[in-house]
Amino acid sequence: MNISLQDLIRRRKSVRTFSGEPLRAEDRRKLEAFLQTVENPFGVPIEFRTLDAKENGLSSPVILGANSYVAAKVSRVPQFEIAYGYNFETFCLFAKSLGVGTVMLAATINRSAFEKAMEVQENEVMPVASPVGYPAEKQSVREKLMRKGIKADERLHFETLFFENSFAESLDPERAGIFRDALEMTRLAPSAGNKQPWRAVVCGDKVHFYEKKAKAMQNDPLGDIQKVDVGIALSHFDLTLQATGITGRFAVEDPGLETDSQTEYIVTCEVKR
Ligand SMILES: Cc1cc2nc3c(=O)[nH]c(=O)nc-3n(C[C@H](O)[C@H](O)[C@H](O)COP(=O)(O)O)c2cc1C
């Protein structure tokens, strides 16, 4: 990739209006090769497939001009949602590096056609799919309105999302040390409905990640889509750390910090200095 990871993260935006040009063979080959290798720190395998929209009857009321989709399925094993979000976002960032647009779609797809094309089995789920193609020069009116409606270009402040030692004390970016860039990239992650459910508490060399649940988005038979969001944010965090030569080790080691009833502990990242 010629452009830095942080630039990619800053420039990525969901694309819903495509030019109609089919994926070039070279780009398709690179995307598929990448999908064979993409991994997550949770050791959960995710199966991706590139699907032809026409052949499989795939559609979305919010998408224009896309000929192909990428979808992924996963078994319901521990941490499947965060592993899924991690891999899917890693893929979207790679696609962006090729000039290929994506948008994760959980709700606005003809789901049964996608699940059929993915041969989703009883113990598996396919939380999202994304069109893949070249962005059109102009967004459709519908896309512009959607973005405005969910304030897609806005993100919560660093101090609202990140804390120091406990949830009682907000983290000033100036005090975030080696985690500053990685947390700033975490902040910019995309999420369902742009709800940004990730929270993190920095305690020395450890960062404890949490999910702040929105009531309307729970109890979905497909799994907790906001955990997928947390996985997306974790990919930004981990890839940014890696790009600066820092290795983080992820483990479920709940520090038992006091939280409100909507906030659930997810995972801890510890760096070795
Ligand atoms: C897990 C997930 C599910 C999403 N589902 C939909 C969807 O069903 N329909 C849609 O138009 N956008 C969907 N989005 C896109 C979000 O609305 C978008 O990422 C968010 O508004 C932030 O905008 P950005 O991606 O341009 O930064 C989804 C995003 C995520 C991460």
State the closest ligand 1 atom to the C-alpha of 189, by its place in the atom list counted from 1: 27
Atom of ligand 1 at shortest distance to CA of 108? 8
Q: What pLDDT does residue 129 have?
A: 98
Ligand 1 pocket residues where CB is under 6 Å: 13-14, 62, 103-108, 128, 146, 150, 152, 190-192, 194, 225, 228-229, 232
Best mutation site among 10, 63, 90, 128 for ligand 1, i.e. most ligand atoms within 8 A of its Cβ?
128
Q: What is the pLDDT of residue 273?
A: 73
Residues 6+ apart with CB under 8 A from 70: 31, 35, 48, 49, 50, 51, 91, 102, 129, 130, 132
Predicted pLDDT at 152: 98
Are 141 and 184 in contact by the 8 Å Cβ rule? The answer is no
Residue among 12, 34, 175 nearest 99 (CA): 12
SS3 state at 103: coil
- The pTM score is 0.97
Q: What average pLDDT does range 161-172 have in this prediction?
A: 98
Alpha carbon distance 182, 205 (integer Å): 13
How do residues 151-165 score in pLDDT, each as one tens digit? 999 999 999 999 999
Residue 262 sits at φ, ψ, to 5 deg, of -90, -5
What string of DSSP letters covers 134-152?
Answer: PBPSS--HHHHHHHHHTTT
| pLDDT (tens digit per residue) in 112-146 | 999 999 999 999 999 999 999 999 999 999 999 99
For residue 185, pLDDT over 70 is answered with yes
The CA 117 to ligand 1 mean position distance, Å, reads 22
- How far apart (Å, rounded) are the C-alpha atoms in residues 246 and 4? 16
- pLDDT score at 222: 76
Q: Domains, the chain, ranges and CATH?
A: 5-143 (3.40.109.10), 158-271 (3.40.109.30)
150 CA: nearest ligand 1 atom? 21
Pocket perturbation via mutation, ligand 1, pick of 191, 196, 227, 230 by most ligand atoms within 8 A of CB = 191
pLDDT-based confidence at residue 272 (cuts at 50, 70, 90): confident
pLDDT at res. 1: 42
Q: Is 168 exposed, middle or buried (CB count within 10 Å of its CB: 0-12, 13-18, 19+)?
A: exposed
Question: Which pLDDT tens digit goes with each residue over 66-103?
Answer: 999 999 999 999 999 999 999 999 999 999 999 999 99
Measured from the Cα of 225, ligand 1's closest atom is 1
Cα 130 to middle of ligand 1, angstroms: 10
How many Å apart are CA 169 and CA 216, to the nearest integer? 27
Q: Nearest Cα to 188, choosing from 93, 95, 264? A: 93
Q: Supply the residue whose CA is at minimum distance from atom 3 of ligand 1.
A: 192
pLDDT at 162: 98
Query: Which residue do the tokens 């502990």 mark?
Result: 265
Q: How far is the CA of 150 from the centre of ligand 1 (A)?
A: 9
